[in-house]
Structure 1
Amino acid sequence: MPKILPFRAVRPTRDKVSLVAARAYEHYTEEGRKFRMDRNPFSFLHILDPGYKYHKEVTGRDRFTLVRNRYQEFKEDGIFIQDEQPAYYAYKIIDRDGNVFSGMIAAASVEDYENNIIRKHEETIQHREELFKEYLDTVGFNAEAVLLTYPDNSDIERVLEKTMASRAEYEFTTTFRDTQYLWPLTDEAEIAEIKKAFETIDCIYIADGHHRSRSSYLLAKAHQEDGKKNEAFNYFMSYLIPESDLKIYEFNRIIKGLNGHTKESFLVALDAVFRIENRGTALYKPTKKHHFTMYLDGEFYSLYLRHSQREFGNPLERLDTQLLYDHILRPLLGIEDMRNDDRLGYTDGRKDMVYVKDIIDKGDFTVGFGMLPVTIQELKEIADAGLTMPPKSTYIEPKLRSGITIYEF
């Protein structure tokens, strides 16, 4: 059973939360980041980009130290305050398309991560793990929650719905037209109900944030080895939502060149594994698993995996992103390392194949592939089997803003 605990969050005052909240740092262009910081002195970006204060770029360990300094200044100026008692934080997002995500922010256990009670479906990159671990250790806080998902549970839902029936502590709308709400949940009886409900759940799953959770685990282990006894290191901040609220999009693939193939020889090679139909200029979108869209030389194609190829030994082998790698990217296009081969690019499924078509028509890429999104059941089966998906197999929402709740060590 997972250990999910309340904690004393550091968070903005109610009047400033909409000004503080920021998307993840890497989601901004340099120009966009500077535009926001020029006009908003309360943006969390001032903490994440501390060199802005000195009109210079600061990197490495120096940046980590300055991040901590900017954070302390926000606390000293009363922009951030820490709650006096531990709480779960009921959190709801209604996005511009009307999708509703309801869950809670809480502390999840690194021990559960180690013991596979919190299960993973993606590989992590060691240098990124170590870098973020060092970052966390230096700054002393975590402002980005790991997205975890659990089986729908009526007891947890009942407590959260009761909490959300009252006036929210935070209610604000972002420039992306997402409306976000937060309610601190401090009633001891209700906290006990939620803890008891999680005791009936065997395991939970990482939806987004594999590097953040891994880095938190490494940090806890390092402090245990050093003999430092700070219980806060044994947990990491998470946003937990039921499986039915999770929104999973696909990642489409775009590739430069055909690895020496002509268009004709590439189609012939594909024909050995796929039933191919030329759809001309009409957009084709797959409707079944193991069906793919391909856009090449101004035309769309449907690719259906031949039934003779549908003998699978494990859940990973029947995953469409893995099939694309096994039958096209590696053998035909020569792409071995999907993380680092600069011939391979990705676009998330919110932009669909029309976006892929536009990129390819501009000449930057040669061929594009689309597929159906991974399902939550596929994600769980792969995690349960101890397997990992290819990179960029899922684009999962919701995406939380940074700076709304902060977990201190």
Structure 2
Amino acid sequence: MADLIPFNGLVYAESLKGSIGDLTTPPYDIISKEAQKAFYEKNPNNVIRLELPMAPEPETPESNRYTRARADLDRMLSSGVLTVDPVPALYPYTMTFKDPLTGNSRKIQGFVGRIRLEEWEKKIVYPHERTLQGPKEDRMALFKATSCSFSQIYLLYPDATREIIGLLAPKSVERFRCTDSDNVLHELGAVTDAATLARVTEIFRKKSLYIADGHHRYETYLAYRNYRRSLETSPNPNAPYEFVTVFLAAMEDENLSVLPTHRLVKSIPGGAKAFLQGLESRASIERFSKAQGDRFLAALRASNPQETVIGVAVSETDELLLCRLNVPRGEGVKALDTYWLQEAVLSPLLNITPERIRTEDLLRYDKSDRSVQEKVFGTRDYALGFFIRPVSAKVIESVTQRGELMPQKSTYFYPKPLTGMVMAKL
């Protein structure tokens, strides 16, 4: 099924091992403008200049953020800041962290490799959410300019016995390690033993893969592959652009941490009174004052997983509402709170339909329940906040195997591999 290959990683020079924390960043799509500027100032060789380049002023077709990324890449390669590993490898990657919801210590053991790009229809790599066009255009321009992949797509694979990590871990040689701003310890190793690599790649031929994070990039890599093929008279089926760099973790790993992504709504069509009347007709509601935030969140987390339960913060009434929705909860996507939030609340009560979400800026997303409360009750920037319960990683498999897609931002896997630990040429 999955065609996994070792690869010659594009990495920072061994002499920079001690400062790898100053050279790497979180994933590009969670970096604010302020953080982008801070990473630029942190180190002239920080990977931000490659993965999320700042636009020059003025920005023109001849001089733009993507040409800047190419120039910085060429500079880092020619000066020896970046090098290509001489021997193909798979790269074990461990993240040690405290669970934001429970405070418990956890360790995720995965690895970085490259897999052959396959269309969704082949049912080798499964998506679990819909994508938007804007992010794809940005990434496509970056790939065309740099012919490089600076970060990994996050994939899950079935491995109940942890066979793969059991093979890789004893053969791994440490390459880089650092602790990020969230106090997550990131450790990258490399396995070059030919027999081990052959065994792991053979096992993967029997596996299906599930995208945890990186749907936009995966679809963009497919488009980039097709673009590169169009430039060749006889395309090489094993050319680097036929593969995508991925971080792979076992779906059954009990240390996987899937956080909820909450929703924020700027305004209420028809006003709060009409919205609340509509909500009361669709749910059993338990009310909390805004001062009872801790009690409200504890009740949400302790709610029956067999019921469809969401939380709502209402700015106009200074209330927190625990809502048990009266909906026909079922299998697959119909077992998700985010599905019923969309179907029973957002669409009928606020006219925030999936079609409008794809084309209009109607929702804001926030991983922090404290932040949602501050934006609704403190700054009053938003009229409503919707709190979501976390789901398990296994839900992704059950939904995708049914050929269904989750609403956007139904899952947030935490933590994520750092950008810049190991990269690849396309």
- Normalising to structure 2: TM-score of the pair? 0.86
1:386 aligned to 2:410?
A: no
Work out whether residues 155 and 193 of structure 1, in 8 Å CA contact, stay in contact via their aligned partners in 2: no
> Which residue in the other structure is 1:357 paired with?
373
SS of 1:332's partner is helix
Residues 49 and 301 (structure 1 numbering): CA distance in 2 closer, same or farther, change over 3 Å?
closer
Q: Specify every segment of 5 or more residues in structure 2 that has no aligned partner in the other structure, as ranges.
A: 100-104
> Which residue in the other structure is 1:374 paired with?
391
Q: Which amino acid aligns with 2:6?
A: P
Q: Which amino acid aligns with 1:218?
A: A
Q: What is the Cα deviation at residue 391 of structure 1?
A: 1.6
- Counterpart Cα distance in 1 of 2:266 and 2:133: 27
Q: Which amino acid aligns with 2:122?
A: N
- In percent, how many aligned pairs have the same letter? 24
> Which residue in the other structure is 2:135 paired with?
128
- Counterpart Cα distance in 2 of 1:208 and 1:111: 17
- Counterpart Cα distance in 1 of 2:133 and 2:332: 25
Greater shift, 139-148 or 9-18, is seen at 9-18
> Which residue in the other structure is 1:117 paired with?
124
- Counterpart Cα distance in 2 of 1:321 and 1:35: 34
> Which residue in the other structure is 1:305 paired with?
325
Work out whether residues 103 and 160 of structure 1, in 8 Å CA contact, stay in contact via their aligned partners in 2: no
| Matching residue within 274, 288, 293 for 1:279 | 288
- Normalising to structure 1: TM-score of the pair? 0.89
Q: Specify every segment of 5 or more residues in structure 1 that has no aligned partner in the other structure, as ranges.
A: none
Residues 300 and 175 (structure 1 numbering): CA distance in 2 closer, same or farther, change over 3 Å?
closer
Q: What is the Cα deviation at residue 340 of structure 1?
A: 4.4
Q: What is the Cα deviation at residue 4 of structure 1?
A: 0.9
- Counterpart Cα distance in 1 of 2:275 and 2:45: 54
- Counterpart Cα distance in 1 of 2:133 and 2:319: 40
* Equivalent residue runs for 1:5-404 within 5 Å: 5-16=5-16, 17-48=20-51, 56=57, 58=59, 62-97=64-99, 98-111=105-118, 113=120, 115-152=122-159, 153-164=161-172, 168-201=174-207, 203-226=208-231, 227-230=233-236, 231-243=239-251, 244=253, 245-263=255-273, 265-280=274-289, 281-283=291-293, 284-285=296-297, 286=300, 287-289=303-305, 290-296=308-314, 297-306=317-326, 309-310=327-328, 312=330, 315-336=332-353, 337-348=356-367, 351-352=368-369, 354-361=370-377, 362-404=379-421
- Counterpart Cα distance in 1 of 2:158 and 2:250: 6
Number of residue equivalences = 397
Q: Which amino acid aligns with 1:254?
A: L
- Counterpart Cα distance in 1 of 2:61 and 2:409: 27
Work out whether residues 51 and 150 of structure 2, in 8 Å CA contact, stay in contact via their aligned partners in 1: no
SS of 2:334's partner is coil
Q: What is the Cα deviation at residue 158 of structure 1?
A: 0.9
- Counterpart Cα distance in 1 of 2:88 and 2:113: 10
Work out whether residues 163 and 183 of structure 1, in 8 Å CA contact, stay in contact via their aligned partners in 2: no
Residues 315 and 181 (structure 1 numbering): CA distance in 2 closer, same or farther, change over 3 Å?
same
RMSD over aligned Cα atoms: 2.3
SS of 2:340's partner is helix
Q: What is the Cα deviation at residue 73 of structure 1?
A: 0.9
Q: Which amino acid aligns with 2:165?
A: E
